[in-house]
A = this chain, B = another copy of it.
Amino acid sequence: MTFTAKGLATRQRIIEGAAAHLRADAPGDVTLDDIRRATRTSKSQIFHYFPGGKEELFLEVARYESNQVIEDQQPYLGALDSWEAWELWRQAVVARYRAQGPRCPLASVLDQVGGVPGAAEVATVLLHKWQAHIHRGIVAMQARGEIRPSLDAAQTASAFVAGIQGGVTILRTTAQTAHLESTLALLLAHLRSPEPGD
């Protein structure tokens, strides 16, 4: 069961085609026939390249979209070492989710796979990476004296991730970015707020 170069290309085409299809409006319940149609492939190809069937394919798509989430915040997220970088990052996050609207590619695909353990793992890994970037940024800012040392970097990074996550969740159901923006504004203000008594 080894794949040739052509085979691998087809496999990739299926993943990306499925991802594109899941990004479309209100995908609802997506069937393998939908994917088949969207990617101009046949049933046997899907099972040939993803022996685990639907679950395996969708997990692959979830990994793909999960990488996109981080990618879309670069280069800012990777180098939060100045107030300017933080500001650009905030704008990138808001812009990305504003453009995306209520359709969240990653959430859509995770909805499809449901509660299998692999899905939780993809989400957990993403959250960790995200939080680690923010944490590094806060520590860097503290090192250069831009953020008060008494601020709990771990707690703050955790709150950032939770706030963004919540803002995006609310965006998905209300189609409003207001909550996402409020959270980011408040958290950035919190970062900037001086030592009490300064």
A73: which B residues are within 8 A, CB to CB? none
Chain copies in the assembly? 2
**When the two chains form their complex, are residues B155 and A185 in contact, meaning their CB atoms are under 8 A apart?**
yes
Query: Among residues 157 to 198 in chain A, which have CB atoms less than 8 Å away from a CB atom of chain B?
Result: 158-159, 161-167, 169-170, 173-174, 178-180, 182-183, 185-187, 190, 193-194, 196
Report the stretch among A16-24, A49-57, A120-128 that lies at the interface: A120-128
Distance, CA A154 to CA B120, complexed state (A): 33
Question: Of B115, B170, B173, B190, which is within 8 A of A162 by CB?
Answer: B170
Nearest B residue (CB) for A165? B166
Report the minimal beta-carbon distance from A172 to chain B, rounded to whole angstroms. Answer: 9
- Residue A33 at the chain B interface, CB threshold 8 Å: no
Q: Which residue of B lies closest to A107 (CB)?
A: B169
Interface pairs A-B: 9 shortest CB-CB: A166-B166, A165-B166, A158-B182, A162-B166, A162-B179, A159-B186, A162-B183, A159-B183, A162-B167
The number of chain A residues touching the other chain, given as a range, is 35 or more
Give 10 new A-B contacts, CB below 8 A, not counting A29-B114, A159-B187, A165-B166: A111-B111, A123-B173, A123-B174, A159-B183, A159-B185, A161-B166, A165-B169, A166-B166, A169-B169, A194-B196
